[in-house]
Amino acid sequence: MIRKLMITTISLGLLMSCGDGENASDQNSDTPSGESRNLEQDSQKSEFLRKKVDAGIDFYAVGHEPEWVLDVEMAGHMNFKALGEMEMNHPAVEGQEDGGAMRFTSQTEMGKMEVVLKKPASNQGGDVCTDTMSGEEFEYRVEVKVQPSGSDKATTYTGCGTYLSDPEPM
C-alpha cells in the first residue's frame, strides 16, 4: 500500500512538473534556408546541419540506394561521396539556368561531375522533395551525374537537397 502511494505521488509530481502546457519541444527556430524546425524534436539533425554551416557548406544533398551525400561550398568546392563507391572533390562552379533547373558542371583530373537542382513541380507530388528514408522534406530534387576519369560510363544519383545559406536566385 505504501509502495503504491509512493509511486502515485512520484507520478503526480512528475506530471505537475511538466509545467503550464508549454513544452520545451514546442520551441522552433528558423534554419538558414528560412524553414522552421523543431529544435528539440530534431536536435540531432539540427546539430548536423549547424556543423555543416559552420564548415562553410552552402548546399547539402542526400540520396539513397546507394547512400550518397553532396556538400557544396559555393566559393570553394563540391564534394560528392557515394558510400563504398567513390568520392569526387571538384571546385565549385557557377550554375547555369537550364529550363527551370540550375546546372553545375565541372571537369577535373578526377573526372566529370554534373549537379542539377530543380524545384519539384506540383504535378510531381508537391512543392517539396521528400527523402525516401527519413521522410524529411527538402527544397530541391537533386541529380548528381559522375563519370570518373578513364571510365566511359557515367553514374546518376538522385535525391533531395537544400540551401543552408541564402541561395542565388534561380
Round to whole Å and give the CA distance between 70 and 160. Answer: 10
Residue 63 or 94, more confident: 63
For residue 82, pLDDT beyond 90: yes
Per-residue b/e over 96-123, b at no fewer than 16 CB within 10 Å?
Answer: eeeeebbbbbbeeebbbbbbbbbebeee
Helices (runs of H) and strands (runs of E) counted in the chain:
2, 13
Tell me how crowded residue 158 is: count the other CB atoms within 10 A of its CB.
17
Q: What is the reported pLDDT for 4?
A: 34
Residue 106's H or E segment, with its range, is: strand 101-108
Show the DSSP H helices in the chain as ranges. 2-16, 43-54
* Global pTM exceeds 0.75: no
- Output the pLDDT for position 135: 87
